[in-house]
Structures are given as structure tokens and as C-alpha cells.
Chains A and B, each alone.
Chain A
Amino acid sequence: MNELLKVLSLAFAACLALSSVGVHAQQQMVLDNVTLNQFLSDQLAAREGATGNHANNWAVLVSTSRFWFNYRHLANVLSMYRTVKRLGIPDSQIILMLADDVACNPRNAFPGTVYNNADRALDLYSNNIEVDYRGYEVTVDTLLRVLTDKVDPTTTPRSKRLLTDENSNIFIYLTGHGGNEFLKFQDAEEVSAFDLADAFAQMWETKRYHEILFMIDTCQANTMYSKFYSPNVLAVGSSELDESSYSHHADSDVGVAVIDRFTYYNLEFLERVDKGSELTMKDLIESYDPVKIHSHAGVRTDLYKRNLSEVRITDFFGNVQAVEIDEDDDD
């Protein structure tokens, strides 16, 4: 009896050890650079015309934080919403997800208004705003379903679906509280970097994007894009592993911080961009100054085959497509 028990306990311990090793081994598979490059080139070769130009632009803007003291995350997202609208992306091609309502919050001293600067010069919640997912609807499940379009087509209205095709460039912006390879949704659940990577892989398989610009402003944001393995994804994060992202400044009448540093400096650059601008992503990346941002913003370009100095800002933030002008005089 004694011996039997000893054998059983040893077997149990051995099982535990093996399973943990096995999991680790699986993680290793994706990170091996040689196999990754091979995988990518296979994928790209399979998709004809993958390096061609895009035909339409979409944006998915998500704020994952609830509660009044996370005002700045909603201001971040609304600033990006205003920017992409200004540069031409229509509301029908923007999915805006706000996890809480701050504009009509009883705590807001300025009803119906959201500011991203203490000078209160710009009201982000103007009279033409369309929020697709709000409040309790903003969950991990909803985000992943929107990205992969695994929604019930009979009940989900078109304004709440991401109806992209293989010629769509998508700008995905996430902000909130995060950590090492996770992003927290509404203080209740998390989405992990693996989930996002798999969602992008599904999008690639179902030909739902041409190129993705993934921007994330949270603590330890760069870890969120470390697990991507689908082609044509350009990722920008606000801070490295074990680094926090900070807020920029607070408004004493609103009572809370109104904007985050990384987004603030992004907006400073983007305010110089208009629809005809020729500024490139390389200019944007080079404008990041760790001294000002107080964290090291990172970029992931190994999945993205185009040279950043050839990629215009308006390829992702605006709704600008290449137009061929017919020079022929005859009709």
C-alpha cells in the first residue's frame, strides 16, 4: 500500500512537470525567427497582389476602461476618433467602443463635453458622434467577434460590424490598463496577446485585411504585439516590458488627467497631417522621444514588408486611396 501511494504521487508530479514543459514548447514554436520568416513568405506568396494598394480604410478604436478616473483613456480614443474623421474615414467605417460614458456622467462639470487638454479649446464630444459599442457591451468577446466578424448576421446591425475585405487597411487603436501580454477590460476580464494574434491570423485567413496598423497605449504595451504572426501587421506600442505609460496632465476643473503622454505626442504629430500630406510612418516613429513620453515606445516591423519611409500616414489614418487620372481627352 505504501509503495503504491509513493508511485502514484511520483506519477502525478511527473505529469505536472511534463505538461508545463509541453506548454512552454508550444510557445517556442512561434517565436523561432527562421520558421516565422518562412511562414510569412509562404503566406504572402499564397495571396496574389498582397503588396498592392489598399482600396478602403477602416478604424477600430477601443477604450477598455470604466470609471471616472479613467477619463483620459476615453479622451485618448475620442482624440483618435476625431483625427481619423478629420482625415476622411466616415462613421460607417469606424467602430468606436467606449467602455463608459464620461460626457454625460453626473461627475462631469462640463455636461456633454470631453476635453483632451486643460486649455479646453477642443470639445471631442461634438454633435456628430456615433458610438457603436458602449458601456457593458465592450468586452473581450465583443472585440474579438468584431475583428473576426463572428457575429450573428441576422441580428447584428451593419454599423456594428467590421465589414472589411482583402483591400482594407485597418487602424486598430487600443487603450486602457494593461500589463505583460494582457489588456484589462473594464476591471473584470483580460484579453491576452495570444488572443489578439490568433484573431489577426483568422482575419488573414478569411482575407479581412490588406494591412493593419496596430497602436496600443497602455502599460507594458509593447508586449501586446510580441505574439503576432500574421503578415502585413505594423505594430506600435507605448512602453516596453516593465515600463508604465503615464498620463500627460490633468485639468483641475474636470478633476482628473485628461490625456496620456504617448497619445498626446502622437496627436501633436498628427495635427500637422491633412488629407494631402506626404508625411510617412517613419516620420511618426522618429518623432517619438522617450524623454518626453517617459517610456520607450516600440515598433514592430518584421511582419510588415513595406519600407516605413514609403508608407504615408494617410494610408492608415485617412481615407485616401491612390487615384488614377485619365489623361485622355476623348470621352
Chain B
Amino acid sequence: MILLVSWIYTLAVCMLAGISNCAAASRSTYNEHLDLKPLPRNNLLASFNFEIYSDSAAETELGNDGQVFWAHYGLFPRSVGQIVQSTRAHELHLRFTQGWWDAEEWGFLPHNGKHAGGTGVEVWAWIAGESDTQAESRWYELVNALSGLFCASLNFVDSSRTTPNPISFRPDSNMRSSFLTYPDSGSSNSSSSDLHLYHGSLPRETVCTENLTPFLKLLPCKGRAGISSLLDGHRIFDSKWQSMALDFVPICDSDNGCRLHMTQKVDVVLDVQRSLQRQHSPIPRPPPPEELHCDISKAYHSESICFPLPNPDVVEWKLSDLFGLKIKSRCQVDQTDGNDVSSSSVCTHITPAWHLTREGGTVVSSTSSNACFSLHESDEFDLAFSTSNSTSVSANDQPPVYIQRSMTGRGQQYGGIQTIIYNPSMTDSVSVIYLESLPWYMKPYIHTMVAGLSSTSSSSATSPSPSASLTQEVMKDILYRPFLERVRGTYLELKLEVPPESRLTLSYDFDKALLYLAEYPPDANRGFDVPPGILTVLTREDDGNMSYTYALRTSSLLLSLPTPDFSMPYNVIILTSTVMALAFGTVYNILVRRFVYEEDLVAQHTPLMQKLKPKIWERWKTPTVSNTGSNKEESAKVQERADAKDRGLKS
């Protein structure tokens, strides 16, 4: 109703103003923002944020037959919009991450971990579909289309790497008011029951310049002007941790109508000393003796002996040193009526120990701990940081939980996983959901899962002691779906509650599978990557609902499975030897083997005494042959008997 009224109002205004192409209640806009925050040990967290809103559309423009194919992109990239719409995805989240976030040194993940992924590539989306199979086939279409757009092997996300409907993810947009209607969805507004969540991850995927290039090409200035011009693959991929995130979320609100909204973020933790050194020489070389900072408190310190301090306290660097260039001009986007619909700003989060020198731009706000600048369209912008105490960095709140996962056991048949979740808070317990998707060739035994709790407070130090009651106290819920060989992996989601100041150790055993020959990758002896575990922290709101406040991921694991010897000479020798043995054996048998009757064999093989015995006995029994007449008969009988015997043997 409100939308209809606003549309009529807009139309009236348009007719009065005489503008022919006036249909949108709100214009497409573009915002870019850079946050710079020094971290301990001469590191720098640089967070690039890019936000694009499409033109909004009124209801009646959405086609007579109910078919909606969004036509009012404005600055919104058409390539993403068309992929998302043709696969009926209501929300899409894509992450490319490499490196390790040191939570103990650097604290909270940027944006509360909502926009950081696990090692490799991670993608999840809510897909509309009347049935599971239809939604799943659309999911595969979506990941294939994304693989072409982002030059990543996302087409490998098949059923064995997809997790359907994990509870660790909640949609960002209000699904009930989602206006993306599709011809076959039946109702004009898709209800949330039609939406299926799929999550896929590829921990082995590399992230390199070919992923950054299409990422930048989605922006209005295509990475050539404004803050996005600082994003250079040579610097971004020379960092301790970097994460590129893309989130597509359609938004409806009363002020602006319904619009497509996309945020792109690049978060990088740069090692300042290493990046500065790249300016001088492309290859890291040790500094000359006069530039060494020595620890003079050491007893052996002298002119010829130096214990080098790794991190100098007095530092001075500029943005152009770290990123290789200055920001030439801001990315200015004007609509057809001449209004500037873009904005760009740079903010720093420092302490009073740091001193900033700006070149170009204007100051928007400046306090001792936070300074923001906006960029001009014509000048270059550069920012110089200097301090005499680089250890003084803005306070980082301690994250609500720490997690660490590792593999235990040895050998090629069995193994175990051990996950340690640590709650540092002294007063509050923390509720978390821990999602683990294991590949099908890791076969876990859930009945072997034990939880051990140990307190880390200084008053008591107990070792983890698994017990049934403890497991029930700590493990609030288990969602588990066992694996199906070669079809899907294990899905395990645990709802846990970790008491304050304690360390929870979860461990379980698994079996390793033997794969078919064709299933081994070309570098099988490296091992197989297991996707990171995802930990989501829940906080109880005032109204009693649980909201997802923080997300973090473990590192991926490397699983060594029993691998055959792929070496070609070995296989050739084995095969050839087998064939030769068979051939030789057959031919030898044909040539040498003779078939004889059993009686002949017995006669041949009876020993000499046995042969002579009946003859001697015969002699002894029968009378001599020299007798006359009457003996003729007997001798004839003897002869007969002897003949009969001979005949008996030979027949």
C-alpha cells in the first residue's frame, strides 16, 4: 500500500517536472571507504569497503505476467545481477581468504568476522525452489556461473562439498519482504519456506590476481580510480592475511523502495616492514649492519655482536609506500541529471602516539584516536604515518572466544580431531554454534566424541576430565547427518556453552578411507584439505532472541590418506612380470606336463622290495617247474595264474 502511494506520488512529481525517464524512487549509489588501523608488531589492517545500490523499482513496473527480471541496475553490475536472478538466488555470499588471523595479537576480526571466510573459497546462498532437488540443481548452476565470473574452480562444489541448511548462517535481508519474484514461484512474494540454504567450500583453492581482477571489474571505476586503485595483486597477496568478500543482499525499506545491494570488501593485514622493503629491493634481503636495531640490554652486545630487534619502534611510512601508488582521484559517478551519487572516505584508527600527515583530500573529522578524510576528484591523496612508539596501537577488544583445531593420531588407517574452544571472559559464559563439514573420506565415529573442560582461572587448574554429565552440560544440541560414501560428507553442528574462563576440548576419532585410483588428485602425496570449522557466537538480546554476533573459523587441515605408489616404472614392471609369468607358466605346462593313469603311476612308483616281494612269494609258494606229467597241469595253472596277473596289471 505504501509502495503504491509512493509510486503515485513519484509519478505525479515526474509528470510535473517533465522528466521522461523517471521511474525510480531512489537512485543507484556507490560508496567507497578505507579503514586503516595499525596493529601490534608493525602490522597494518587495511579494510576496503565498496557498496553499490541499484536503482529502486516500483511494483507496477515489474512486468504484467509476473515475470521479474530486474532491469534497473544503474551502477549495480549486471553480470552478478543476471547470474543471481537466473538461478533464483535471494542472497549470495562469496569469500576468498588466504593466511591466518592471529586473534591473540590482533583481536576481533574486521566487521565482527561476518565478512571473513576460511582458507580458500567459501560460498553460500539462499536459493528459491519448490523442492530440494530443484533448489539444489539451481545451486550447481549458480556455482558454475560464479566459477566463470571469478576465475575460480567453484564448479568443483558438488554434492560432496555442499552442506545444505546449516544453522550457522542467517539471512541478512528480511526474507518476507523480498521482492525478487520469479515466474514459477507461485506467490508474488516468496515466503521463507521456499528458500534453501546451501554452503560450499573449497579449502584447496588458491586466491590470486585472476580472482582480484573480476572483483575490481564489478566496481563502477573498475579499479582505475579512487580507493580501489590501491588494490594491487603484488601487495595484497604479499600479506599475512587477506580476505575478499562479496555479499549480495536485496533490501526493501520504506524510504528507498526495493533495491539490490552489494557490498565488496577486501581486508588485508600487511607487514609494514616487509612491504617497505619491497620498495627498495624486490627480494627480501637482510639489512646492512648500520641499519640494524640491536637489543642493547643483552650481556654480549658489542660492536661485532648484535641481537637484532625485529620491530623498530620508530617508524615512518606512507600509504604510497605500502601500496605502491597514491590515490590519483576519487571515483566519481554522476547520474544523468548531474547529481553525484558516489562518496569516498578514508578513516584511521590510531592512538595519540601516531602523527598523520595528509596530502590532498579534506578532513571530515579528527580526534586523537580517529581521523577521517574525504577525497577530492582532482587531487592525489596520500597519507603519511609516523610514530616513535609503534607498539602503541588502538585498544583491541578481546574476542569473545578463541578456537583452535588440529589432527591427532598417526598412521594411515585412523586419526582423530581435537578442537579447543577457549572463553577468556571472567564473568560470562559464551554460547556458540560450531559447524564442521568433513569430506566423505574422513569417517568420524561420533560416539567417540568427548568433551573435556578445564578452568584457566588462576585459582584452579584442572586437567580436562571427560564425563557424561559434563558433556550434557556443555553440549546443548547436536545436529548430525552421517556421510554417504562418494555422495556427501559428514555434517556436524554442535550447540555449545562454554563457562567463563575455561577451555573446552572436543575430540573424536575417525577412519581414513581408501579411494579409487581415479579419485586421487595429481598431487596426491601432498594430502587432502579438510574445510575449516566455523564457530558462530550467539548473544541473547533483550527481547530474548539469540542474535549472531561474531563468527570465526579454524584453519583448514591437511589429511594424509593412504596413497598407492603411482610411479610408472613400478606399475610397468609389475604388469609385465605378471604377464610374463602367466605366459611362461602356461607354455611350460603345455610342453612338459603329461597325463598318465593312476595305476600306471602306482606301478612306476612302487619301491623295489614291494615289486620283488610278490615274485619271491610266488616262487616260494608254487612247486618247481621241472616235475613231469602231473606237474604239467599245475605248471599250466601257474602259467595261467601268472598270465592273469600280467593281464590284470596291464589292462
What residues of chain A have their CB less than 8 Å away from a CB belonging to chain B? 1-2, 5-6, 9, 66-67, 101, 103-105, 109-113, 120, 123, 125-132, 134-137, 154-160, 185-188, 253
Cα distance, A66 to B206, chains bound together (Å)? 14
Q: Which residues of B contact A160 (CB under 8 A)?
A: 147-148
Which of B53-61, B230-238, B257-265, B615-623 is the contact stretch?
Answer: B230-238
**CB distance B210 to A134 under 8 Å?**
yes
Which among B152, B233, B586, B587 has the highest number of chain A CB atoms within 10 Å?
A: B233
Q: Contact flags (1/0) for B206-229 with A, using CB distance below 8 Å?
A: 111110111010000001000000
Query: Could you name 26 residue pairs across A and B whose Cβ atoms are closer than 8 Å?
Result: A5-B590, A9-B590, A101-B206, A103-B208, A103-B233, A104-B206, A104-B209, A104-B237, A105-B206, A110-B282, A111-B237, A111-B238, A112-B208, A112-B233, A123-B234, A132-B148, A134-B151, A135-B153, A135-B204, A136-B521, A155-B141, A157-B147, A159-B149, A160-B147, A160-B148, A186-B523
Q: Beyond the given A127-B213, A132-B151, please list 10 additional residue pairs across the A-B interface where CB-CB is below 8 A.
A: A2-B595, A104-B208, A112-B209, A112-B235, A130-B214, A132-B148, A135-B206, A154-B141, A157-B148, A187-B522
- The secondary structure that dominates the A interface is loop
Interface size on B, residues (CB 8 A): 45
In the assembled complex, the Cα of A135 lies from the Cα of B147 at a distance in Å of 13
Chain A residue contacts of B223, Cβ below 8 A:
127
Does chain A have a CB within 8 A of B321? no
Residue of A nearest to B141 (CB): A155
A188-B148 contact given A127-B232, A129-B210, A130-B214, CB 8 Å threshold: no
Q: Which residues of chain B have C-beta atoms less than 8 A from A136's C-beta?
A: 153, 156, 521-522
Task: Please name the residue on chain B nearest to A91 by beta carbon.
Answer: B213
Is the pair A155, B144 in contact by a Cβ cutoff of 8 Å?
yes
Q: In the bound complex, what is the Cα–Cα distance between A128 and B216 (angstroms)?
A: 10
The distance in angstroms between the C-alpha atoms of A117 and B440, with both chains bound, is 44
- Decide: A159 and B153 in contact? CB cutoff 8 A: no
Report Cα–Cα, A187/B284, bound state, in Å: 33
- Min Cβ gap A308→B in Å is 35
A158 to B144, CA, bound (A): 11
Which 3 interchain pairs have the tightest Cβ spacing? A157-B148, A104-B208, A186-B522
Instruction: Determine the chain A residues whose CB is within 8 A of the CB of B145 once the complex forms.
Output: 155, 157
Chain B: CB-nearest residue to A2: B595
B404 at the interface (CB under 8 A from A): no
A176 to B442, CA, bound (A): 34
Binding site for A on B (CB under 8 A): 98, 140-141, 144-145, 147-149, 151-153, 155-156, 204-210, 212-214, 216, 223, 232-238, 282-284, 521-523, 566, 586-587, 590, 593-595
B523, A129: Cβ atoms closer than 8 Å: no
Residue of B nearest to A154 (CB): B141
Given contacts A104-B206, A112-B208, A112-B234, contact A128 B594 (CB under 8 A): no
Bound CA–CA A103/B232 (angstroms): 13
B523, A125: Cβ atoms under 8 Å?
Answer: no
Is the Cβ of A66 less than 8 Å from the Cβ of B153? no
Interfacial chain A residues near B236, Cβ < 8 Å? 112
- Which residues of chain A are within 8 angstroms of B98 by Cβ–Cβ distance? 104
Inter-chain contact A135/B214, CB cutoff 8 Å: no
Contact in complex: A113, B234 (CB < 8 Å): yes
- Bound form: Cα–Cα A137–B153 in Å: 7
Q: Are A159 and B213 in contact (CB under 8 A)?
A: no
Find out whether the CB atom of A111 lies under 8 angstroms from the CB atom of B234.
yes
Q: Separation in Å of the B273 CB from the closest CB of chain A?
A: 15
- Across the interface, A66 reaches (CB within 8 A) one of B140, B148, B523, namely B523
Q: How far is the CA of A264 from the CA of B209 in the complex (A)?
A: 24
A101 to B236, CA, bound (A): 16
- Bound-state CA distance A103–B290 (Å) is 34
A61 → chain B closest CB, angstroms: 14
Flag if B522 contacts A128 (CB, 8 Å).
no
Contact A131 B210 (CB under 8 A): yes
**B523 and A120 within 8 A (CB):** no
Tell whether A9 pairs with B153 under 8 Å between CB atoms, given A110-B282, A127-B209, A187-B522.
Answer: no
In contact, B282 and A155 (Cβ under 8 angstroms): no
Complex contact B141–A112 (CB within 8 A): no
Query: A125 — which chain B residues lie within 8 A by C-beta?
Result: 208-209, 233
Q: Give complex CA distance A83, B155 in Å.
A: 29
Question: Judging by beta carbons under 8 Å apart, are B210 and A1 in contact?
Answer: no
CB of A112 within 8 A of CB of B523, answer no
Nearest chain A CB to B151's CB is how many angstroms away? 5
**A14 CB to closest chain B CB, in angstroms?**
14
The reply to whether A104 and B207 form a contact with Cβ atoms under 8 Å apart is: yes
- Chain B residues with CB under 8 A of A157: 144-145, 147-149
B205's closest neighbor in chain A, by CB?
A135
